[in-house]
Structure formats: structure tokens, C-alpha cells
Amino acid sequence: MRSTTSSFPERIELSGEGLVLRDWAEADLTAMPELFDHPDIAYWTPIVSPFDEAAALARLDRSRQLRWEGTAILLAITVDNGAPLGEVMLRRAPEGTEIGYAVGPAHRGQGLAARAVRVMTAYAFEQLGAEQVILELEAENAASVAVATKAGFGLLDVPLITGEEKGRPFALQTWGLSRV
């Protein structure tokens, strides 16, 4: 069943903050395990682990399905429209327009996640008409909390989101940025 929300464009490329956020492609499949097969990503995100080329192909297929449904877009974070350094995701959900991100271990410490979040947030406000963008983070994930702060998000006074993922309990805080 097709989503009742408007669909995303078939191709998306966003530029800003020294980054190019672009669609994942078949050529990226061999690079994806280097980015996502890491204990930090396995622990803090719902991305499957271990993450091998089969997982990369499944993620590429799933990203295309989510785009077609109008539910989410997953874009590779690059600096020059070349090799992917990580991923930024925008998801339409009942609780709002949510952004998620993951940066490969070899590419951390360059501000890529915060810059990608700001570019994707601008897209959500300007192109999708979002009134607020949210991030859902575990308070113990200091790196993600730092990204939220650097990207201009503030902690919202809403209940924690609790659950279990990959056999471990989690409690997510909601951070938000409203359209000015």
C-alpha cells in the first residue's frame, strides 16, 4: 500500500556545509561494511550486525523501498559526491520528522554528522514543510548528544521512548529543532 504522504523525489542530492548528501548506489556496496560493521554502530543504532556485503545490499534495497513508500530517505554523506563517509536518514513518523545518522569510524571527529544533520534539517524545513525536526538519542551516547548540540537541537520535555533492540533495553531522549 502506498503511503498517503507525498512521495520523496526519485533522486535526491543535497549540498551544504562542505558536504554532498546523495543517494546510495550499487557502487557503494563494497564501502558500506567499512562504515557500518563496527561495535559502536552495532550498539547505538538499529543497523544490523555483523554488517557485510549482503547486509549492504539489503540496506540499499530497503532504502529504496522506504523512499518509494514515502516513509524515509537514506543518503550517503560525502564531501565531494564521491566515497561515502557515513549516512544520514530522514524518516516521516507519527511523532514527527526524525533524523538519524551514522559516520564510519575512520571519518569521525570532522563534524560530518552535525553538518549532515543541519543540511537534512534545512531540507525538511524548506522542501517538506516540517515544523519541527527531532532526533531520538540515548543520553549515554555522548557522541550523538554532542552532534545534537552542535546542530542546534535542544532536549525536549517529553517522556523517554523505551524499548528493546538487539536484546538490550534502551531509553531514548527526544531532541528537537523548530522552524523559525
- What pLDDT sits at residue 180? 84
Number of Cβ within 10 Å of residue 119's Cβ equals: 22
- What pLDDT sits at residue 172? 96
Residues 6+ positions from 167 with CB-CB distance below 8 Å = none
Residue pLDDT tens, the chain, 180 long: 333 445 799 999 999 999 999 999 999 999 999 999 999 999 999 999 999 999 999 999 999 999 999 999 999 999 998 999 999 999 998 878 999 999 999 999 999 999 999 999 999 999 999 999 999 999 999 999 999 999 999 999 999 999 999 999 999 999 999 998
- DSSP summary character for residue 150: H
The one-letter amino acid at 120: M
CA atoms within 13 A on the CB side of 117: 28
- What pLDDT sits at residue 94? 80
Rounded to whole angstroms, how far apart are CA atoms 18 and 116?
9
- What pLDDT sits at residue 111? 96
Three-state SS at 77: strand
Q: Is the pTM of this model over 0.85?
A: yes
Rounded to whole angstroms, how far apart are CA atoms 160 and 139?
10
Give strand pairing partners of 175.
135, 155
